Amino acid sequence: MKGSDSAPLHRQGMDYGESEDVQKVHAAIQREKQEPRVGLEPLSLWLIGIYALAVFFGGAYLGRFSGSFSGNSLDPGTVPTKSHGPGPGGGGQQPQQELTPAERGKKVFAANCAVCHQASGLGSQSQGYPPLAGSEITNGGSRRAAMVVMKGLQGPITVKGQQYGSAVMQPWESLGDQKVADVLTYERQEWGNHGGPVTKEQIAALRKELANHPASFTGPDLEAVPTDANLPGGEEGAAPPKPGEQAKPGAPPQGSAPPATPGAQPPKP
């Protein structure tokens, strides 16, 4: 078919409609180039260099920040193992069996308390974190220490002869009774402290008692409580108050002590 040979320069546009008159070919097609083809140039070295860089960075990123591809690690830089230090990743599930309360408490401490009070228990005077090592509150009766941990502390307070008060301690009762008890047990026997252990039941009872108490305690609140006041229900519980020199570090105080008469305890401030 030679429909287009005698084409005049000036071809009117066609309206195809139903006409399939193939003699009349639209001018656009006539002037069109051929359908696209592909050349075969080789890859340039620069491009291969870019590929290598992309693969390197992409791969490195993937390796570094994948939290070992576990479904449990929400944080990119960590590995969800059992014993992990303080920090964002420290929230991995911790197996609780076969550990003593102090050992459990140590983990709780590392995850929550060490940030301010330091792993050494020495705190930081400049930042306003009192020490726990050798502190009167930690070493004395369990009541005051438990009050502080449960409800937090603010305002001026004197610990080991030094003034603190620029920092505010948040309440930690949301950790749950077991963890509060464990961390108190831990800190009361660590760093040379000689306070006795604290049980979950004691904390539960304290929680009930403090349920309506406003936010945190202050220095005067604590001073109103005798230094050797213990929480009822522990080993020291029913005994009349005495300088609490119970050094029983590792003994799990799970005994079901009868609910002690809190007669010796002062009413809550």
Partner 1 sequence: MKGFTPLVLGILATLAFSWLGLAYIPDLQIGHLDPQSDEEGTDIYPMPKSGMAERGRRIYVANGCFYCHSEQVRADYAASDIDRARDAAPSPPSKWGDRRSAPRDYIFDRPALLGKMRMGPDLANIGKAAPAEEEAAPAQPSPANPANPVPPGASPPVANASPPPANAAAQQNAKPAAQPSTPTEPAASPPATNASPTPTNATAQQNAKPPAQPSTSPAPAASPAQAATAPSPAASPSEFPAPYSAAWHHQHLYAPRSLNLDSDMPAYKFFYEKRRVGGEQSADAINLRGEGAPGEGWEIVPTYDAKCLVAYLMSLNQSHPLNEVKSAAPPAASPAAAKPVAK
Partner 2 sequence: MNPTEIPLKSPSSVTNLSIGDVEQVERALIDASTRVPVLMFYASAVVWLLLGTLLAGFTSFKLHSPDLLSNVSFLTWGRIRPAHLNVMLYGWGSMVGMGTAIWLMARLCRTTLRHPLLLVTGGAFWNLGVLLGICGILMGDSTGYHWLEFPSYAAVTLFIAYSIIGSWAVLMFRFRRGDPIYITQWYLLAAFLWFPWMYLAAQTMLFIVPVQGVLQAAVNWWYANNLLFLWFGSLGLGTAYYMIPKVIGRPVYSYHLAAIGFWTYAFFASWTGMQRLVDGPFPAWMITASIAAMILCIIPVATVGLNHHMTMRGYFPLMRYSPTLRFTVFGAMSYTAFSVLGVVISLRSFARYLQFSEVSVAYSHLGLYAFFSMIMFGAMYYIVPRLVGREWRFASLIKIHFWASVYGIGLMTLMLLAGGMVQGMNMDNPTLPFTESTQSVLPYLRGRSLSGILMTVAHFVFAYHFLLMLLGLGRTASVPTFLNPVNPEPGEMVAH
For partner 2, the binding residues (CB under 8 A) are 1-4, 7, 9-16, 20, 22, 25-44, 47, 50-51, 53-55, 57-59, 61-62, 65-77
Q: Compute and round to an integer the Cα radius of gyration of the chain.
A: 37
Distance CA(131)–CA(57), nearest Å, equals 45
Distance CA(33)–CA(38), nearest Å, equals 14
**Site track 123-162 with partner 1 (rule: CB under 8 A), x = hit:** ----xxx---------------------xx-x--------
**Residue 176 binds to partner 1 (criterion: CB under 8 A):** yes
257 binds, among partner 1, partner 2, none (CB under 5 to 8 A by kind): none
Q: Name the DSSP class of 129.
A: B
**Residue 65 binds to partner 1 (criterion: CB under 8 A):** yes
Distance CA(222)–CA(205), nearest Å, equals 18
Distance CA(205)–CA(133), nearest Å, equals 26
Q: Is 237 exposed, middle or buried (0-12, 13-18, 19+ CB in 10 A)?
A: buried
Among 14, 52, 55, 64, binds partner 1 (CB under 8 A): 64
**Site track 185-224 with partner 1 (rule: CB under 8 A), x = hit:** -------------------x--xx-xxxxxxx--------
The token duo for 222 is 């604590």
Q: Is residue 105 a contact partner of residue 99, using CB atoms and an 8 Å limit? A: no
Q: Which residues bind partner 1 (CB under 8 A)?
A: 61, 64-65, 70-72, 74-78, 84-93, 111-112, 115-116, 118, 127-129, 151-152, 154, 166-171, 173-176, 178, 204, 207-208, 210-216
